[in-house]
A and B are shown apart, each in its own frame.
Chain A
Amino acid sequence: MTGFTFQARGVTKTFPGVVALDQVNLSLMPGSVHALLGENGAGKSTLIKIMTGVHRHDAGTMDIDGAPFSPHSTREAIAAGVGVVHQERNLIPQFSIAENIFLETLSADPFKPIDYPKLYRDAQEWLDLLEIDADPSAKVEDLTVAKMQLVEIAKALALNSRILMLDEPTASLTQHETERLFGIVGRLRADGVSLVFVSHKLEEVQEICDQVTVLRDGRNACESQPLAGLGRQDIVRLMIGRTEQIPTWDQRDCRDRDVALELRQVTTNAGHQDVSLNLHQGEVLGLYGLVGSGRTELAKAIIGADKIISGAVLVDGSERSISSVAEALHENRIGYVSEDRKSEGLILMHSVLENAGITVWRRLQNAIWAFTDRAVEKTVSPVIKKLEVRTPSLQQTTGNLSGGNQQKISVAKWLAANVKILIVDEPTVGVDIKTKAYVHELIRELADAGTSVLLITSDMPEMVTVADRILVMDEFQIRGEVINDRDYDRVSHEIMKHIHGASEVAAE
Chain B
Amino acid sequence: MMQSAMKTDWFGPFIVSVAAIIIVGLLKPSFLTPFNIQILLLAISVNALVAFAQMVIIGIGQMNLSVGAIGGLAAISFAGMMEVWGLPWPIASVLALMIGLLAGVLNGVLVALTGVSAFVITLATLSVFKGINLGITEAQPFYEIPETVKWIGNASVFGTVPLLFIPFAVTTVVLWYFLFRLPLGRTILAVGGNTHAAELSGISVPQAEIVAHAISGLLAALAGIMLVARLELGQPSIGDDWLILSFAAPVIGGAVLTGGRVSVAGTCFGVVIIAIITQVLVLFNIDPFLVQVVLGLLILWAVGVNRLREIRGQRQVAGGPA
Contacts and interface: CB of A to CB of B under 8 A. Distances in A.
Interface of A: 15-18, 20, 40-41, 45-46, 49, 303, 305, 324-326, 328-330, 336, 338, 343-350, 354, 358-359, 361-362, 365, 369-372, 397, 399-400, 402-403, 413
B319 A344 contact: no
A402 B193 contact: no
A413 B313 contact: no
A49 B181 CA distance: 42
A372 B181 contact: yes
12 contacts: A305-B199, A326-B204, A347-B190, A347-B197, A347-B198, A348-B193, A350-B190, A358-B198, A370-B182, A371-B182, A399-B313, A400-B313
Residue picked from B193, B201, B317, most chain A C-beta under 10 Å: B201
A345 B202 contact: no
B200 interface: yes
A400 B319 CA distance: 10
Contacts of B321: 18, 41, 402
B201 A413 contact: yes
A17 to B, nearest CB: 7
Contacts of B190: 347, 350, 354, 358
A367 to B, nearest CB: 13
B316 interface: yes
A349 B199 CA distance: 16
Contact of B202 (A45, A324, A343, A369): A324
Contacts of B198: 347, 358
A349 B181 contact: no
B322 interface: yes
Interface in B232-286: 256, 260-261
Nearest to B7: A395
Contacts of A343: 194, 196-197
B202 A328 contact: yes
A15 B183 contact: no
Contacts of B316: 15-17, 400
Interface in B151-205: 177, 181-184, 186-187, 189-190, 193-194, 196-204
A15 B200 contact: no
Contacts of A330: 202
A403 B313 CA distance: 16
Contacts of A400: 313, 316-317, 320
B1 interface: no
Contacts of B317: 399-400
B8 to A, nearest CB: 11
Contacts of B181: 370-372
Given A40-B322, A350-B193, A358 B203 contact: yes
Contacts of A397: 313
Given A45-B322, A348-B194, A361-B186, A370 B260 contact: no
Contacts of A369: 182-184
Given A349-B261, A372-B181, A402-B322, A325 B202 contact: yes
Nearest to B4: A395
B318 interface: yes
Given A358-B190, A362-B183, A402 B200 contact: no
A324 B196 CA distance: 13
B182 A359 contact: no
A354 B193 CA distance: 11
Contact of B200 (A40, A345, A361, A362): A345
A499 to B, nearest CB: 28
B184 to A, nearest CB: 7
Contact of A344 (B183, B196, B318): B196
Given A326-B204, A330-B202, A402-B320, A344 B177 contact: no
Nearest to A55: B318
Contacts of B313: 397, 399-400
Contact of A371 (B183, B197, B200, B320): B183
